[in-house]
Structure 1
Amino acid sequence: MSASLLLDLVNSRLVLASGVSDELGDDAAASAWLRAHGAAGTPAEVADARAVREALVPFLRGETDAAVLEPWAGAMRKRARLHATGLEWVDDVDPAHVIGARAIDEWSGLQGEQGSRIRPCAADDCQHFLIDESRANARKWHSMETCGNRAKARRHYAKAKLGSAAG
């Protein structure tokens, strides 16, 4: 699966020791970010992207329930368009909620019998989210090179320290 609007959106703001890194913090940068994700980058889309991100991050962390997403879910409709060969169902979304509707539609597609395929990185010191594409839906870290290796190193160090203390 390629990068998605949803994943990039929830990973677009990180609080670092050196300050906040926010890809949507500046209006011009946010507009460019949205254009790179297939949107027009209008001021309304920028505002919507910021608002839905503020709702999605705590929701995906399990800190709030799905009710926070209702403004976007409620803005999503299907409309029939008649053609000579039959009906075609098209999305009819309130333009003020189009970015959030896209993100929530992506989120919905990542839900399955084994649980959600999008979740926070399991590393305590990481703010990133990941989309688990593994068959078992058991991926823990957004990056094996950073968070996964640090977690494994901590476990190894703890085992070695416990072993030396016992000896």
Structure 2
Amino acid sequence: MLERLLVGETISLDLVNTEWIDRGEMVDFLAADGAAELWFREYGFDPATEDVEALRAARAAIRSLLESPGPEADARMNDVLSHGYESTRVSDGRPGTTSATDPGWGAAWRAARAFTELLATHPDRIRQCAHPDCVLYFYDTSRNGSRRWHSMETCGARTKSARHYRRSVSEEKAKQH
């Protein structure tokens, strides 16, 4: 079983992060044996009633909005969102919201809906990792909103190490001239 690189984000960003690049090749976690079922269970969905193709459609729609927003990306997201709805009702004087989805679309719709909530509340906190070879996204929860990498231990350290190496090489060349 593949191990995901970044977990613990919101359901929508966790879904987008089921694709990453490893040694120059795109990896699809959802394509690994048993991985989609594990993802469904992690978010409280019954794998027997969910459709992995719907989940992939939601992932593509969210990624499309992140990477190339516009009418086509909007249409992809709206297609996913059309598979469910929310309803507000009052019971015992208190409002409550329930959702209903087409069969197989529960997880996909919930991830897409959660992404629209992020866009509505804090779109400036949704970030792609600053490492040039990383395709992972994160929600910046730092106090000043300055987080740059999905992980300081991996991409942050690689970026800083590469910068140090370039600086050392430049200084060495300058000494030789």
TM-score between both structures, scaled by the size of structure 2 = 0.75
| Residue pair 1:61, 1:119 contacting (<8 A) in 2 also | no
Q: Return the alpha-carbon distance in structure 2 between the equivalents of residues 89 and 28 of structure 1.
A: 32
Aligned-pair distance for 1:147?
A: 0.7
Aligned-pair distance for 1:27?
A: 6.4
5 Å matches for 1:140-159?
Answer: 140-159=148-167
Q: Return the alpha-carbon distance in structure 2 between the equivalents of residues 115 and 87 of structure 1.
A: 27
75, 81, 84: which one aligns with 2:83:
75
Aligned-pair distance for 1:20?
A: 5.1
RMSD between aligned alpha carbons?
A: 2.8
**Which shows bigger deviation, 98-107 or 139-148?**
98-107
Which one-letter code corresponds to 1:120 in the other structure?
Answer: Q
Q: Return the alpha-carbon distance in structure 2 between the equivalents of residues 49 and 8 of structure 1.
A: 12
Secondary structure of 1:24's counterpart equals: helix
Which one-letter code corresponds to 1:122 in the other structure?
Answer: A
5 Å matches for 1:17-166?
Answer: 17=23, 21-26=27-32, 28-42=34-48, 44-62=50-68, 65-81=73-89, 83-85=91-93, 87-111=95-119, 115-166=123-174
**C-alpha offsets along residues 57-116 of structure 1, whole Å, 9 cap, x if unaligned?**
232223663332111233342324453435533223333432222112222333367643
Q: Return the alpha-carbon distance in structure 2 between the equivalents of residues 114 and 81 of structure 1.
A: 27
Unaligned 5+ segments in structure 2 are 1-7
**C-alpha offsets along residues 142-162 of structure 1, whole Å, 9 cap, x if unaligned?**
111111111112222223333
Aligned-pair distance for 1:46?
A: 1.8
Secondary structure of 2:173's counterpart equals: helix
Unaligned 5+ segments in structure 1 are none
- Go from structure 1 to structure 2 and tell me whether the alpha carbon gap of 1:112 and 1:152 turns closer, same or farther (over 3 Å shift): farther
TM-score between both structures, scaled by the size of structure 1 = 0.79
Higher relative contact order (CA 8 A, sep 6+): 2
